Structure 1
Amino acid sequence: MRWLVLWGVWLWGLSAVAAPREELAAKLQTGDVVLHTSRSRQSQAIRAATHSALSHVGLVEVTAQGVFVVEAVQPVQRVPFAKWKARGVKGHILVLRPQGLDAEQRQRALTAAKSHLGKPYDWRFGWGDEAMYCSELVRKAYAQGAGVEYGAMETLGSLDVAGLKQQMRERYGVQVPLEQELITPASLARDARLSVVHSDFPSERQPGS
């Protein structure tokens, strides 16, 4: 009898943990923009340069087989949403949804993002299509698929890179291209045309903002 009680408690615990995850996945729509704090080697530098906890971003795809995220890592890939979320620090996530776009436009953006699957990650944050970094993939997907450019382009020199000299030399060599333009996860997150669906980040935008 005792083992039945323990079994029941264990199952209840599993359902309590799983329920919030399932509820979040059920809220997602194709084309949603998802951001988290990456555990990658360069995450700390991105956060320092942008003064934001957000260092990685991808696009959601909802299918009959489950929920996935298309992301630019090494290489550009499509992964299950649960796996993508678990890779973020503490599992925290920010979910943003484009306003004023219909399902067909969001699907076209997702299709544009998937056209880059298999491409290498762009460690130098260039703007060519031969390689992709995460926020570049999202901005280009919506620009190409829906004609909307989210986030503001910034120059490398406009970011707070003063304390990142070693990282900059490793990436670019002696001549750091401070005039090079790029798009950051934080810049995408600030775009008011993307409404907040869910947020675990107290320092970032919250639902209704």
Structure 2
Amino acid sequence: MGWRMLAPLSMLLMAHTVAAGPRPLELKTGDLVFHTSRSRQSQAIQAATHSPLSHVGLVEVTPSGVFVVEAVQPVQRVPFARWKARGAKGRLLVMRPERLSEDARAAAVAEAKRHLGKPYDWRFGWGNEAMYCSELARKAYSAATGVDFGKMERLGSLEVKALGRQLRERYGGTIPSELELITPASLAADERLTVMYSDYVPAR
């Protein structure tokens, strides 16, 4: 995501910071949860997209607890509390496609779970052999509902200097600028997703 989407996304996060205080955290199956990952590539993703949101997963609420389906190494389903604790400062953004039915949102989670055990896609490809986090979220909803959240972007349109070292390592020196990918920031900027909770604070 380039600088063009920085202002709208920053306003979105700021607008809901105040509302997040009195609003309780009430997760539902199919919610998209975002945080700032502490992984090695997180800072590069933040710089490339001008956003603190570097990781996303899908919520599943069950009688035995609340879980998050996420694409890490490998794609896995983990307790929500553990997932949240991995984020920087425990901050969290929750977004919900409210126009979709509960059944549709549950179907998206079921689609995401079909990829459990697959390796993380370090090359950000679009095949189904491996998955990265925002790819999993977008594909799950696309397969289950026909809705494509977020905007696909060319790698060359991002601030690739921030990702340069990792990309050169992964692609053998030549960065494929025409490669299209989806980022957590792009998903969060989709107006069809409603912010249900956010404890991100405005940048000062």
| Pairwise TM-score range, normalised by the shorter structure | 0.7 to 0.9
- Secondary structure, in 3 states, of the residue corresponding to 1:61? strand
Q: Structure 1, unaligned stretches of length 5 or more?
A: 1-19, 205-209
Distance 2:110 2:162 in 1: 38
How do 1:121-132 and structure 2 match up within 5 A?
121-132=120-131
Q: Which amino acid aligns with 1:121?
A: Y
Q: 1:105 aligns to what? A: 104
Q: Which amino acid aligns with 1:201?
A: Y
How do 1:1-209 and structure 2 match up within 5 A?
23-24=24-25, 27-203=26-202
- Secondary structure, in 3 states, of the residue corresponding to 2:139? helix
Instruction: Name the % identity.
Output: 69
Distance 2:202 2:56 in 1: 17
Deviation at 1:162, TM superposition (A): 2.5
Distance 1:103 1:135 in 2: 21
**Runs of 4+ in structure 1 displaced over 6 angstroms?**
none
Deviation at 1:163, TM superposition (A): 4.0
Kept in 1: contact 2:45–2:163 (CA 8 A): no
Deviation at 1:172, TM superposition (A): 1.3
Distance 1:203 1:142 in 2: 29
Deviation at 1:201, TM superposition (A): 1.4
- Secondary structure, in 3 states, of the residue corresponding to 2:201? coil
Higher relative contact order at CA 8 Å, sep ≥6: structure 1 or structure 2? 2
Kept in 1: contact 2:58–2:70 (CA 8 A): yes
Distance 1:54 1:154 in 2: 16
Distance 1:153 1:97 in 2: 20
Moved more, 176-185 or 156-165: 156-165
Q: 2:9 aligns to what? A: none
Distance 2:77 2:165 in 1: 32
Sort the Cα spacing of 1:192 and 1:83 in 2 relative to 1 into closer, same or farther, 3 A: same
Moved more, 163-172 or 95-104: 163-172
Sort the Cα spacing of 1:35 and 1:163 in 2 relative to 1 into closer, same or farther, 3 A: closer
Q: Which amino acid aligns with 1:172?
A: Y
The structure having more radius of gyration, on CA atoms, is 1
Distance 1:194 1:158 in 2: 23
Q: Which amino acid aligns with 1:41?
A: R
Q: Aligned residues, how many?
A: 181
- Secondary structure, in 3 states, of the residue corresponding to 1:192? coil
In the superposition, the TM-score normalised over structure 2's length comes to: 0.86
Kept in 1: contact 2:91–2:199 (CA 8 A): yes
Moved more, 59-68 or 158-167: 158-167
Deviation at 1:171, TM superposition (A): 1.8
Kept in 1: contact 2:44–2:162 (CA 8 A): no
Q: Structure 2, unaligned stretches of length 5 or more?
A: 1-20
